[in-house]
Structure 1
């Protein structure tokens, strides 16, 4: 057993994690790693059967990569433009103000935005849109208005907070990709699930993927329970908390949330990552020139500075890939981009992102290797899981190099 596998087994035995599914593959499939550890639930009386590569998970923000790919497919076809205002299809965004602070009597101070919101700014989180919890002004605005963003299953009601900066001038994580998904829907007159199924999932042979588990009982029976790290004991326990894929009544959200809504298995998701390694040759999901743009730096100086500041927080850095602070980073059109090599083997140009329940993926076109660490544990950015994720990635590079006699 490899050292990192022993670390995971020990963590499971000590109830540090319930389990994890690990996948990695190279460009032509000659190197592949697939292994599952642990069980589907820690709940008393829950399904404690073993996790498998086909276990269904809420992959949360791993959805963003697929929404971004689909948006760029429409740019290729001339249906959408990267740099034209999106207001033709989403006029609601034209009236979003910027919140700049609060008056002496506690009222929000808002001003109209001047720079247009474009698809490019949505895809690289530079639109000014954010999640309530990601910015103090957004959180204070929601508190002032008594706005519970998670109560609604409708995208426009859920993500109605004002912008927190002038579009194009900074970077903040938030609902930008959810709005990119809405843009796809309105431009094509299809649901995001319908468009993804036709243009991404079916071309890649993906069947076990959906925005709505209620419509896929065959997937729901394989759905993995969410666990949380107990603040007192530090061990795993079950949770009955409301999750972002649910509304205020704990029913499934009604809209396809392009930034957070997909349920799938690790063995299906890895197909998307591998497709990014191969489509510069087969152009199955994106043309080669689009792929180059997809993996090119997009942020302004203000955006890089803001992202670096956010990543200086250890929990945020863990949640956003866990790359050492000394490695410079930017943002492509689908995730964080490394602007230098990482000591674990990742090359400059590697793209990384993840999902709220401590999922992390990477796609390294130079080395020709991709992978995903998948689990269902909250809160995000868990330090203990981050150690295991990094050990897994480093081990994949070592094993891949050994397989090539490098």
Structure 2
């Protein structure tokens, strides 16, 4: 190994500073905000060991408490095969972390009186007016027979995953097999109009407002935003969310001048050996900008978004959403009469409630991770995660290009490593 290669490896496996990205918040020593530097160092030790073991290519983590940035570090490789080290300005596919941003975009229209939470989907796309639902056999399994929907799908159903329009890749029933696998697949195979035609032609898996099951609700919400705003979803969010927050590296495409900063997963899943690649590939154009899972971002950009929600819609002097609107978004929208299958979509969020576009913690115990009642989050299948704990004034963004099932392991591991570092 050459001296240059040795140096590159050493630099790669060291946590980098934030030299590559403008800090989203003022910096502070961990002890100044009630966290332990010694305990936070366990994050570096753990991630370095896992990177060296070939478990993940690399990661970026940003931690803020009491409005101060206490950690912004990069570990490992942005592109391991090419020997490119991770930096804090690396751009990641954030997958379903797109959903909360699309939700905020729709709630901005709600605040302007342009949509209502209980508006029927058919108000915007009439083809959804007379949806049918898969009938059930004696064992409760869906069949090819259908019955009329008891009521129309609403905007609320789309935002809280109770529409009955499900991801095809999240189950094996006859109905699942009819649907596109997920948001990224849909944006690759269909333009917006064809996507809506496809969904409107299929039976719902459940009656609306009866079951939480993961699906295309926020992709449809994004297309509603496009219809009302007369802009693409990316243009609308750029003008109303990304630019006001200073999210300069967030969007639905990776331009040529930023492509070198785009993270790649390991070529093969370390557990299954199956090939891995970025999906969607955002250096290539999407057929539509899917609000359910097609954005890319950086740790500092997404921390800005998370902090805005923790600050009740405020960013600096700008009030992007009203305080009560944010409170409503972050309140449980399921209640006792909706069957909650969140754990099927993400075992780490089992037993959470669900607000609009994200999960909300309802109990101090029971769930599989530490945190406080009121904590809110929604991770990405690409290996990314984030959460805000308002009680602790804590915001965390963890980004890694690790899309396999081991992403659930890292959601729990990073959660434990962050919370154990709080000392007061």
Q: Shorter-chain-normalised TM-score: which range?
A: 0.7 to 0.9
- Aligned counterparts of 2:158 and 2:339: Cα–Cα separation in 1: 15
Secondary structure in 2 matching 1:40? strand
Measured in 2, the distance between the counterparts of 1:182 and 1:391 equals 36
Give, in angstroms, the shift of residue 378 of structure 1. 2.5
CA distances 1:215-270 after superposition (whole Å, capped 9, x unpaired): x222222111133554xx63888645x83457xxx953221100011112122111
Q: Does 1:186 align with 2:230?
A: no
The equivalent of 1:208 in structure 2 is 249
1:100 corresponds to 2:135: yes
Cα distance, 1:125–1:278 mapped onto 2, change above 3 Å: same
Q: 1:393 aligns with which of 387, 412, 415?
A: 415
Whether the aligned pair in 1 keeps the contact of 2:57 and 2:265 (CA below 8 Å) is no
Specify the SS of the correspondent of 2:338.
helix
Residue from 92, 115, 120 that aligns with 1:80:
115
* Counterpart Cα distance in 1 of 2:420 and 2:361: 19
Q: TM-score, normalization: structure 1?
A: 0.82
Conserved 8 A contact 1:7-1:388: no
- 8 A Cα contact 1:361 1:373, kept in partner: yes
Q: Distance in 1 between matches of 2:87 and 2:246?
A: 19
Aligned equivalent of 2:356:
333
| Residue matched to 1:139 | 176
SS at match of 1:362: strand
Q: Shift in Å at residue 151 of structure 1?
A: 5.4
Distance 2:91 2:280 in 1: 16
For the 8 Å contact 2:314–2:320, the answer to whether it is kept is no
CA RMSD, 1 decimal: 2.8
Report the alpha carbon displacement of residue 132 of structure 1 after superposing the two structures with TM: 0.7
Deviation string for 1:26-70 (max 9, x for gaps)? 3522x4211111101233xx3x21111211111111100100011
Aligned twin of 1:292 = 327
Go from structure 1 to structure 2 and tell me whether the alpha carbon gap of 1:344 and 1:167 turns closer, same or farther (over 3 Å shift). Answer: closer
Q: Is the 8 A contact 1:15 1:235 kept in 2?
A: no
Query: What TM-score does the superposition give when structure 2 sets the normalisation length?
Result: 0.79
Q: Please tell me whether the aligned partners of residues 26 and 274 of structure 1 are also in contact (alpha carbons under 8 angstroms).
A: no
Residue in 1 that maps onto 2:259: 220
In structure 1, distance between residues paired with 2:130 and 2:253? 30
- Tell me which of 183, 191, 195 is aligned to 1:154: 191
Number of equivalenced pairs:
369
Structure 1 residues 260 and 151, CA, compared in 2 at 3 Å: closer, same or farther? closer
Deviation at 1:183, TM superposition (A): 0.9
Q: For the structure 1 residues 235 and 123, does the alpha-carbon distance in structure 2 shift closer, same or farther, using more than 3 Å as the test?
A: closer
User: SS of the counterpart of 2:398?
Assistant: strand
* Secondary structure in structure 1 of the residue aligned to 2:373: coil
Q: What secondary structure is seen at the aligned counterpart in 2 of 1:259?
A: coil
Equivalent in the alignment of 1:116:
152
Residue in 2 aligned with 1:234?
271
In the alignment, is residue 36 of structure 1 matched against residue 74 of structure 2? Answer: yes
- CA spacing shift, 1:181–1:239, aligned 2, 3 Å: same
Gaps in structure 1 of 5+ consecutive residues: none
Q: Following the alignment from structure 2 to structure 1, what is the Cα–Cα distance between the partners of residues 264 and 305?
A: 24
Structure 1 residues 270 and 151, CA, compared in 2 at 3 Å: closer, same or farther? closer
Distance 1:307 1:391 in 2: 20
- 8 Å CA contact 2:188–2:287 kept in 1: the answer is no
